[in-house]
Amino acid sequence: ELVRGQPLISETLKLEETRFRKTLARGLGLLADATETLGSGDRLDGETAFKLYDTYGFPLDLTQDALRPRGVSVDLDGFNAAMERQKAEARKSWAGSGDAATETVWFAVREKAGATEFLGYDTEQAEGIVQALVRDGTAVESAVAGETVGVVVNQTPFYGESGGQVGDTGVISGEGFAIDVTDTQKKGDGVFVHFGKVTDGTVKTGAAVELKVDHVRRTRLRSNHSATHLVHEALREVLGTHVAQKGSLVAPERLRFDFSHPKPISAEELE
């Protein structure tokens, strides 16, 4: 494998070296501007050192190495404080989105009801029993018309978003109620959650339901999923066998294929 990949490895190393040299040159220029008034015994403030690192990709150790011959040090306490502040802001932003609390409830559902049985490889329509209802991150016993809710059923033909392919949509209905499913996701280690709005009546946990996947949309998803494999094979033929999938998006109206390649694709290669 290493022998076969030697040309790509060599080319990648050269490109990375070129990028690093550009980063180094840019960082040294910015550092010179920021420290032109500093002399031996002075310290570069931590905020500036962190900005060089965070915004321009200039490592702290290189900043220290560049300043050492001039007798200038770096305010490490200030640098670390700026780093911690950024981490705290990132954590605050994530927690503020409500994702943390919402994710926890799915593990509780998994513990109580078990994993969802997926039937979607064989059918687009099935019957099941509502195992859980979740609204605004909290498990509830019922949901009425007009409310948005996450529905967990013991078995489902709905594909849950994973591997870059978006989740199925469709309808869940039962005696006296209906839910318009606008997304399906996998949560809490094997729990399929059908997100949607109750359009009629009241749905309760334990209710018997019929699940119907939007057939036209599923067909488009299936076609675009197959297309990603064709794109991958074409890329390997044109660019080389080193091309590996790094991610993808498979939606009914479009697809995206992420892959590894050390340089831009030429116009000739695109044709």
pLDDT at residue number 94: 54
In a domain, residue 196? The reply is yes
Q: According to the model, what pLDDT value does residue 115 have?
A: 92
Q: Which of 50, 68, 96 is the last residue of a domain?
A: 96
Is residue 102 within 8 Å of residue 188, measured between CB atoms?
Answer: no
Residues 27 and 84 grouped into a single domain: yes
Residue 251 lies in a domain: yes
Domain that holds residue 251: 219-270
185 and 143: one domain? yes
108 located within any domain: no
CA atoms within 13 A on the CB side of 98: 5
Calpha distance 251→243 (Å, rounded) = 22
pLDDT digit string (tens) for the chain, length 271 residues: 667 667 777 877 888 888 888 888 888 888 888 888 998 999 999 999 999 888 888 889 989 998 999 999 999 999 999 999 988 887 766 555 445 556 788 889 998 989 999 999 999 999 999 999 999 889 999 999 999 999 999 999 999 998 789 999 999 999 999 999 999 999 978 999 999 999 999 999 999 999 999 999 999 999 999 999 999 999 989 988 888 888 889 999 999 999 888 788 888 888 7
Q: Please, which residues have CB within 8 angstroms of residue 22's CB and are 6 or more apart in sequence? A: none
Q: Are 149 and 91 contained in the same domain?
A: no
Residue given tokens 């900005």 in the structure block: 51
Judge if 161 and 231 occupy the same domain.
Answer: no
Q: How many domains does the chain have?
A: 3
Global confidence as pTM? 0.66
Which residue, of 96, 122, 147, is where some domain finishes?
A: 96
Q: Which two tokens stand for residue 53?
A: 């690192």
In a domain, 104, yes or no: no
Of 96, 128, 151, the last residue of a domain is 96
Q: Is the Cβ–Cβ distance between 179 and 171 less than 8 Å? A: yes
